[in-house]
Structure 1
Amino acid sequence: MNLPASVSDLLPPHAQDVYRAAFNHVFAAHARRSPTWIKGLRSVAWPESASE
């Protein structure tokens, strides 16, 4: 998964891994939802990324 610039530019590699894990956890829990829900997933993993 490509991270939003607001995440990859701001966080060190370990913190990016935490973001990925949070995103993937929420994605797996709600995989049946529509693709447009991805924006919401990002806002759960990293609240400031919701505006991207």
Structure 2
Amino acid sequence: MPYPENEDLPPGVRHALPDHAQDIYRAAFNAAWQSGRYGQDEAVLHRIAWAAVKRRYRKLGESWVPRS
């Protein structure tokens, strides 16, 4: 099911990612869900969302930072 707000994201996502990365994650997840292309396989939708985040952010130690 889509996430209307960042506060609705899974706790692991909310605590790991900065606000802007959460926006990216939520938008990618919701777009993939709404496309209907992946059914309602949440594991696939979460992988798509993480891939979108990883295009703009990278993990440095324990933190996610914007790519240069």
**TM-score, L = length of structure 1:** 0.65
Report runs of 4+ in structure 1 exceeding 4 Å deviation: none
Unaligned runs of 5+ in 1: 48-52
Which letter does structure 2 place at the counterpart of 1:22?
Answer: A
CA distance in 2, matches of 1:27, 1:38: 8
Quick one: higher RCO (CA 8 Å, sep 6+), 1 or 2? Answer: 1
Question: Percent identity among equivalent residues?
Answer: 40
CA distance in 2, matches of 1:3, 1:14: 13
CA distance in 2, matches of 1:32, 1:26: 7
Which structure has greater strand proportion? Answer: 2
Structure 2 SS opposite 1:9: helix
Which protein is bigger by CA-based radius of gyration? 2
Partner residue of 1:29? 35
- Structure 1 residue corresponding to 2:47, chosen from 34, 43, 46: 43
Aligned-residue Cα RMSD (Å) equals 2.1
